[in-house]
């Protein structure tokens, strides 16, 4: 100010009195600003602002707006707001925005009055840099800081406290940006200047030491970090005392460092001291206090003290939400830590929710290339690997690895963690060479950075030991397991879950090498630790039960094995029930596969020991697992359509799946892979959202037990759950066995009856020439008597499947059965007992997806007595006729804005045509006559009118028809890795791109009007029209919940991929998902004429004879058998409820 006054005195001596008045005003303003600054330092922001506003008034009235004094008032106004924002909660953002405005105003005035090369202008620029760093606008912050640095160097020189302050803040900025090498350089230069100018016993020098400790921690240089922290702590204690917030800050960071260095005792001591100081000095509603809570939460999570950890995390989250709101980096970090905790205790639904919320916040604030965002990707990988989604997990792991490699470098603990996780994933998926490479590299990095006594190093040893165990290198494996156990015992103690992991690994190794007593000891200790630390509802606890059951079985201690089998079955059910509320159907399918080993073990144990006590558990398991996904999908659909809040979400989900159906039908080369991934992701998210929010889902998924099924049986009835399983010794063998679980009224418990090995049935079912007449007739005819070829005689279907059951079913008349595996491809009623009698003559056989349906039957609300029939379809091109036929449907399709229309699918077939089926027109006409005669409103679609559009409109704007009959060609292509395709009525050798789809519901379908055009050329008749190829996937997206019966009068419509407990993935599953109650389907290529006769006869018995659908079907098969001798002609159709 004095320089400016001198300038005016020399230039304008005639205004001496005025200048004196100005000098007084300037001194007044300056004095008031100093008072305001002192009040700001005491956090008396209200009084500080009042004093500053007085200074502003004097400056404006006596000096003017464009003066250095008013510029200083503007700067201090911004400064008060800036400092006030540090302790603000919901108003923080508003205060910073107001401060920005005042800072910018001061900058403008100072530039005009003082020029850019002035310390006061540099101060305005510096404070703007600081403000933008606080706001997270790092690029803008850097611009202002660098400008301030340049000015201060020129005006003040490098050996100046303000220049050092700018360097220090640039270090902070680049640390925030994870550019740690640049941060280190600025801090080191600032430290050197501060030591020279201020000396070592100075607050600012200690501050830079402290921040360098943080940078070295983030860089993984823990020894340097510790040295800088300890020096900073010593200075702060000496200069500020132990009761100061800055001293507590260094204590906190040392607590964090020592937790990484595995010195948990020191870590806890530092954290607790920091927490105590911060509570006294700052209060509980303070961010620094919340960080102490978070640090302790992490520490106790590492200890395995999960309940204690959760308490600290939740208190942290609450504090941060009050101060910062939910959209902050700190809040996201706490969500991440809660996610880690939830994974540790098996609460996967909560974990995923925390991770996804945190990821969205960090992506918005920091971007996807930030190392903090990589934590989310890595942790999601861990979560998805836990539930068996290995492909998804790998994607997340690789993304995390790429980010950390780019931002932190390869010699960093985080990079090593990503290598370790990938190595473990490759080990679990059998990619052993790749696994070893990654695990060894992770071990090398951790050994170099953390040393051999760190738990992370022990994790590497355990994973490598498991790898070597899997590859039969037992000596090598034992060495790694023992070393890992010693490290974890010394550092974590004997009650930590990681210590239990080492015990379990050693137990498995000793069991494998025949050291059963040692194995038992380790297994039991591991189980006790896990049970105490993580509760019983955890996948790893279930694994320990599995190991103990397996061990006791081999030791011949069957009672012990049985006990653990029973507990294992119960734990697995609870785990799967919990997963219903947070996984999509595909994710559930992947997760279900992880339970197959347990089921195999229990069934194998029952077989090899003849243990009748496990029969009830086996039956209950079959009731629980069989059709689990289908049941869940149907319940979600039913509940969503009954709840207006969920209906919109459900319809949106269906729309996305319809678009996916179009894309799946395209050749891979022509698909928009980005769009496919995006739609799949959005569909999965919607599925999970519906499962979480749909009202009554948990109650609707009620489970039944064998006693419930038995109570539903009448005298003379029986229920059979067929099961197939991999026979299990130490590990699963290559033998798949079949058994029947038989339940009758009055039985004390279900009976387990072993049947046959799958290869025995497979040899009967295999055919090189398609499922033609000779093949079918041989399969369902008693072997001829007389001379037999030498060698092992091949057993008939009756000998394999039914003979073992005869004694138990001697008094039974009605059998409800649920098939499994290859039994889905058989008509049990057609199996001959002798030359004259088949099973259908002896028993009333009712096929169900699960005998659970006896307790909870399928419900169909028939809205109208109506039917829609398809027959006499023309498959060749007539664009004019088909376009005319579609006119009645186009307006509705357009109104849905593409959500209903599947539009373009490209089958890329070359050659082969679907031929006209003459009998289907007569079939449809005769059935129409029967239905109309019974007063049922019937809509028959023939010729070019039988379009795909006309089918997909069903159930859209009004209830679906009671009866849906389709007399047309059907197709089914098996998995591309297996045998040649089977085709329906008359196509022959044609080739189709549907054959190579990796989706089983795309490889099965029906052909409608004009279908030959797309089948031959890969294109529909016109862009925007359907192609006439109706896949099972498309049908599954419809709503046929008012349809009582679907008749698929086409060849091989009952076939499809057989997938575990879920049964047939094909048209059968599609119509069940769509909501139909009964389905009539074919197992082989039934001749056209015989098919028509069968259908007409069935409808006469059902509609005119007023029989139930099952009774009408049974009577029809009996009459067909009397009329046609060969099973090929009468036994091809099956009824499924």
Least confident range from 7-11, 28-32, 215-219, 956-960: namely 7-11
Report which secondary-structure segment, H or E, holds 449.
helix 432-450
- pLDDT score for 843: 92
Mean local confidence (pLDDT), 241-262:
90
Mean local confidence (pLDDT), 581-606:
78
Q: What's the mean per-residue pLDDT of the chain?
A: 83
- pLDDT score for 563: 93
**3-state class (DSSP) for residue 103:** helix
Count CB atoms within 10 A of the CB of residue 817. Answer: 20
Mean local confidence (pLDDT), 572-585:
76
Which one has a higher pLDDT value, 978 or 443? 443
- pLDDT score for 790: 44
Least confident range from 7-21, 205-219, 447-461, 789-803: namely 7-21
* C-beta separation of 944 from 881 below 8 A: yes
Mean local confidence (pLDDT), 423-430:
93
Percentage of the chain lying above the pLDDT 90 cut:
43
* C-beta separation of 1108 from 1098 below 8 A: no
Q: With 80 as the cut, is the pLDDT of residue 1056 above it?
A: no
pLDDT digits (tens, 9 = 90+) for 148-185: 999 999 999 999 999 999 999 999 999 887 788 899 99
Cβ neighbors of 564 (< 8 A, separation 6 or more) are 545, 546, 548, 549, 552
Cβ neighbors of 345 (< 8 A, separation 6 or more) are 306, 534, 535, 538
Least confident range from 7-16, 430-439, 958-967: namely 7-16
Mean local confidence (pLDDT), 979-989:
39
Mean local confidence (pLDDT), 657-685:
70
DSSP 832: B
Confidence of residue 415 (pLDDT cuts 50, 70, 90): very high
CA distances in angstroms from 1056 to 366, 970, 1000, 1048, listed in the order given: 48, 11, 7, 14
Angle formed by the axes of helices 615-625 and 558-579, to 10°? 20
Q: With 80 as the cut, is the pLDDT of residue 839 above it?
A: yes
φ/ψ region of 938 (left if φ > 0, alpha if ψ in -120 to 50, else beta) reads beta
How are strands ordered across the β-sheet holding 732-743? Answer: 751-757, 732-743, 717-728, 814-818, 844-847, 1133-1136, 1078-1082, 1045-1048, 963-966, 866-873, 937-943
Report which secondary-structure segment, H or E, holds 1137.
none
Which one has a higher pLDDT value, 680 or 47? 47
- pLDDT score for 825: 84
Q: With 50 as the cut, is the pLDDT of residue 952 above it?
A: yes
Cβ neighbors of 558 (< 8 A, separation 6 or more) are 552, 605, 609, 611
Burial class (CB within 10 angstroms; exposed 0-12, middle 13-18, buried 19+) of 887: exposed
- pLDDT score for 789: 46
pLDDT digits (tens, 9 = 90+) for 155-165: 999 999 999 99
Q: Please state the pTM of the whole predicted model.
A: 0.67
Least confident range from 101-105, 915-919, 1087-1091, 1132-1136: namely 1087-1091
Mean local confidence (pLDDT), 221-246:
93
- pLDDT score for 400: 94
Q: With 60 as the cut, is the pLDDT of residue 987 above it?
A: no
Confidence of residue 300 (pLDDT cuts 50, 70, 90): confident
pLDDT digits (tens, 9 = 90+) for 430-439: 999 999 999 9
Mean local confidence (pLDDT), 78-90:
80
pLDDT digits (tens, 9 = 90+) for 735-752: 889 999 999 999 999 999
Which one has a higher pLDDT value, 407 or 879? 407
Confidence of residue 983 (pLDDT cuts 50, 70, 90): very low
- pLDDT score for 998: 66
Dig out the tokens for 708 from the structure.
């419930």
Q: With 80 as the cut, is the pLDDT of residue 326 above it?
A: yes
- pLDDT score for 39: 93
pLDDT digits (tens, 9 = 90+) for 521-547: 999 999 998 888 767 888 888 899 999
Mean local confidence (pLDDT), 943-967:
90
Integer Cα distance of 683 and 317 in angstroms = 30
- pLDDT score for 908: 32
Percentage of the chain lying above the pLDDT 70 cut:
84
Confidence of residue 15 (pLDDT cuts 50, 70, 90): very low
Integer Cα distance of 130 and 137 in angstroms = 10
Mean local confidence (pLDDT), 624-647:
71
Mean local confidence (pLDDT), 1028-1036:
87
pLDDT digits (tens, 9 = 90+) for 882-903: 555 555 554 333 222 122 222 2
Confidence of residue 480 (pLDDT cuts 50, 70, 90): very high
- pLDDT score for 389: 87
- pLDDT score for 911: 43
- pLDDT score for 657: 74
Q: Which of 99-103, 453-457, 777-781, 1011-1015 has the highest mean pLDDT?
A: 99-103
Question: Tokens 């001591």 belong to which residue?
Answer: 269
- pLDDT score for 806: 92
How are strands ordered across the β-sheet holding 970-972? Answer: 982-983, 970-972, 1004-1007, 1029-1031
- pLDDT score for 896: 23
- pLDDT score for 19: 43
């Amino acid at each position: 100010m004095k320089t400016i006054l001198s300038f005016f005195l020399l230039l304008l001596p005639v205004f001496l009195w005025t200048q004196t008045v100005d000098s007084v005003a300037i001194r007044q303003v300056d004095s008031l600003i100093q008072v305001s600054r002192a009040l700001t330092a005491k956090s008396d922001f209200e009084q500080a602002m009042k004093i500053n506003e007085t200074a502003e008034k004097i400056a404006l009235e006596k000096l003017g707006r464009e003066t250095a004094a008013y510029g200083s008032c503007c700067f201090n106004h911004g400064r008060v707001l800036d400092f006030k924002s540090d302790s603000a909660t919901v108003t923080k953002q508003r205060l910073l925005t107001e401060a920005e405005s005042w800072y910018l105003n001061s900058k403008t005035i100072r530039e005009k009055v003082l020029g850019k090369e002035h310390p006061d202008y540099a101060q305005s620029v510096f404070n703007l840099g600081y403000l933008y760093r606080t706001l997270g606008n790092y690029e803008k912050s850097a611009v202002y800081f660098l400008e301030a640095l340049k000015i201060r160097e020129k005006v003040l020189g490098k050996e100046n406290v303000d220049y050092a302050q700018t360097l220090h803040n640039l270090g902070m900025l680049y640390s925030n940006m994870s550019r740690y090498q640049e941060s280190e350089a600025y801090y080191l230069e600032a430290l050197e200047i501060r030591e020279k100018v201020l000396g070592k016993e100075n607050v600012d020098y200690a501050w830079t030491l402290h921040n360098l400790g943080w940078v070295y921690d983030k860089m993984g240089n823990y020894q340097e970090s510790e040295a800088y922290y300890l020096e900073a702590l010593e200075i702060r204690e000496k200069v500020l005392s132990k009761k100061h917030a800055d001293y507590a800050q260094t204590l906190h960071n040392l607590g964090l460092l020592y937790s990484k260095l595995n010195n948990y005792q020191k870590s806890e001591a530092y954290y607790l001291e920091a927490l105590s100081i911060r509570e006294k000095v700052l209060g509980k509603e303070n961010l620094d206090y919340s960080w102490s809570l978070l640090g302790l939460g992490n520490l106790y999570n590492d200890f395995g003290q999960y309940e204690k950890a959760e308490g600290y995390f939740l208190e942290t989250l609450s504090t941060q939400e009050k101060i910062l709101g939910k959209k902050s980096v700190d809040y996201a970090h706490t969500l991440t830590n809660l996610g880690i905790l939830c994974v540790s205790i098996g609460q996967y639904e909560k974990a995923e929710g925390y991770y996804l919320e945190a990821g969205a916040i960090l992506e918005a604030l920091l971007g996807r290339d930030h190392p903090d965002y990589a934590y989310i990707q890595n942790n999601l990988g861990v979560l998805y690997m836990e539930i068996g989604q290995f492909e998804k997990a790998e994607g997340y792991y690789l993304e995390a690895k790429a980010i950390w490699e780019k931002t932190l470098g390869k010699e960093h603990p985080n990079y090593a963690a990503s290598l370790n996780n990938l190595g473990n994933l490759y080990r679990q998926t059998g990619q052993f060479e790749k696994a070893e490479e990654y695990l060894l590299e992770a071990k090398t990095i951790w050994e170099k950075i953390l040393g051999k006594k760190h738990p992370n190093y022990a994790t590497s040893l355990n994973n490598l030991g498991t790898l070597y165990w899997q590859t039969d290198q037992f000596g090598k494996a034992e060495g790694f397991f023992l070393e890992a156990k010693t490290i974890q015992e010394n550092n974590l103690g004997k009650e930590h879950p990681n210590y239990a992991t080492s015990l379990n690994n050693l137990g498995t190794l000793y069991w494998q090498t025949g050291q059963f007593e040692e194995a038992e000891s380790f297994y039991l200790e591991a189980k006790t630790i896990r049970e105490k630390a993580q509760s019983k509802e955890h996948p790893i606890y279930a694994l320990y039960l599995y190991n103990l059951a397996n061990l006791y079985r081999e030791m011949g201690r069957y009672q012990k094995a049985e006990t653990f089998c029973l507990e294992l079955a119960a734990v697995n059910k609870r785990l799967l029930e919990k997963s219903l509320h947070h996984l999509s159907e595909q994710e559930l399918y992947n997760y279900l596969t992880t339970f197959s080993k347990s089921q195999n073990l229990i069934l194998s144990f029952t077989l090899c020991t003849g243990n009748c006590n496990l029969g009830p558990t086996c039956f209950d398991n079959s009731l629980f697992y069989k059709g689990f996904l289908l049941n869940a999908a149907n319940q979600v659909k039913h509940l969503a359509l009954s709840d207006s809040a969920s209906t919109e979400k459900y319809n949106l989900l269906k729309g996305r799946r319809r678009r996916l159906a179009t894309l799946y039908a395209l050749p891979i080369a022509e698909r928009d892979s980005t769009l496919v991934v995006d739609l799949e992701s959005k569909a999965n998210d919607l599925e999970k959202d519906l499962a979480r929010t749909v009202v009554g889902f948990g109650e609707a998924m009620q489970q039944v037990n064998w006693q419930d099924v038995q109570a539903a049986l009448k005298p003379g009835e029986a229920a059979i759950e067929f099961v197939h399983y991999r026979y299990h010794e130490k590990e699963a063998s290559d033998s798949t066995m079949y058994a029947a679980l038989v339940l009758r009224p009055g039985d004390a418990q279900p009976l387990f009856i072993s049947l046959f090995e799958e290869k025995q049935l497979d040899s009967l079912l295999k055919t090189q020439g398609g499922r033609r007449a000779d093949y079918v007739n041989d399969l369902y005819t008693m072997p001829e008597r007389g001379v037999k070829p030498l060698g092992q005689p091949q057993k008939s279907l009756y000998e394999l499947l039914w003979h073992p059951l005869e004694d138990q079913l001697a008094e039974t008349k009605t059998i409800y059965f649920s098939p499994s595996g290859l039994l889905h491809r058989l008509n049990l009623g057609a199996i001959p007992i002798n030359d004259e009698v088949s099973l259908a003559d002896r028993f009333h056989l009712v096929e169900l997806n699960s005998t659970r349906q006896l307790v909870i039957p399928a419900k169909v609300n028939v809205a109208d007595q109506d039917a829609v029939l398809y027959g006499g379809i023309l498959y060749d091109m007539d664009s004019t006729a088909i376009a005319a036929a579609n006119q009645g449907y186009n307006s509705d399709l357009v109104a849905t804005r593409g959500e209903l229309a599947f539009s373009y699918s490209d089958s890329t077939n070359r050659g082969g045509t679907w031929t006209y089926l003459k009998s289907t027109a007569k079939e449809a006409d005769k059935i129409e006559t029967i239905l109309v005669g019974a007063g049922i409103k019937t809509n028959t679609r023939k010729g070019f009118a039988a379009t795909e559009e006309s089918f997909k409109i069903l159930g859209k704007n009004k209830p679906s028809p009671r009866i849906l009959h389709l007399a047309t060609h059907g197709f089914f292509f098996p998995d591309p890795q297996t045998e040649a395709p089977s085709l329906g009525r008359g196509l022959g050798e044609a080739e189709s791109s549907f054959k190579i789809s990796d989706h089983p519901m795309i490889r099965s379908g029906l052909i409608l009007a004009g279908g030959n055009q797309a089948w031959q050329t890969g294109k529909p008749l016109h862009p925007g029209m359907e192609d006439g190829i109706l896949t099972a996937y498309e049908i599954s997206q419809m709503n046929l919940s008012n349809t009582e019966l679907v008749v698929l009068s086409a060849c091989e419509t009952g076939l499809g991929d057989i997938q575990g407990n879920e049964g047939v993935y094909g048209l059968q599953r599609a119509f069940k998902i769509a909501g139909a109650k009964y389905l009539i389907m074919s197992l082989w290529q039934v001749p056209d004429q015989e098919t028509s006769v069968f259908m007409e006869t069935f409808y006469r018995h059902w509609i005119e004879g007023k029989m139930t659908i099952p009774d009408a079907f049974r009577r029809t098969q009996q009459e067909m058998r009397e009329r046609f001798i060969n099973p090929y002609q009468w036994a091809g159709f099956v009824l499924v409820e």
